[in-house]
Amino acid sequence: MSMGSPDRNHKKKITLIRSFYYAISGISSAIKSERNLRIHLILSLLVIFLGFAFSITSIEWLIIVLVLGGMLCSELMNSAIERVVDLATEDYHPLAKQAKDIAAGAVLLFAITSLVVGMIIFGPRILSILPL
């Protein structure tokens, strides 16, 4: 069974490395240009700090990681959709507006979901330390 030539395997490794480079470059570009992504990153750091401060459980960490990752991914996808729509047309078009609005709506829906998850996990802990 042939495993391929060493040259071909080397090219696959370079292609894989290049794809990681492009992905990291895209994330970096979005962080520099997207205010909302920077806000989500700052809030993510706050949530991670709270997770350590309140010693949340492993299951809660899994949920938090999934929610934070999903939120950041949805923000990146929204930015990509906005760029593609802007590239497709400079003129106002109702479908272009609708595509952008739907993508923004997806981010908003995920943000609300993330907030609810955060309230469920952190709410009781925060209330327990408040003098009532």
For residue 123, the SS3 value is: helix
What pLDDT is recorded for position 5? 64
What pLDDT is recorded for position 2? 52
What pLDDT is recorded for position 56? 98
The pTM is what? 0.85
Nearest CA to 67 out of 6, 11, 121, 9 is that of: 121
- H helices of 54-93, in order, are 58-88
- H helices of the chain, in order, are 6-33, 35-53, 58-88, 94-129
* Token duo for residue 109: 């829906």
**Which residues form the catalytic set?**
75
Res. 13: pLDDT tops 90: no
Average pLDDT, stretch 67-73? 98
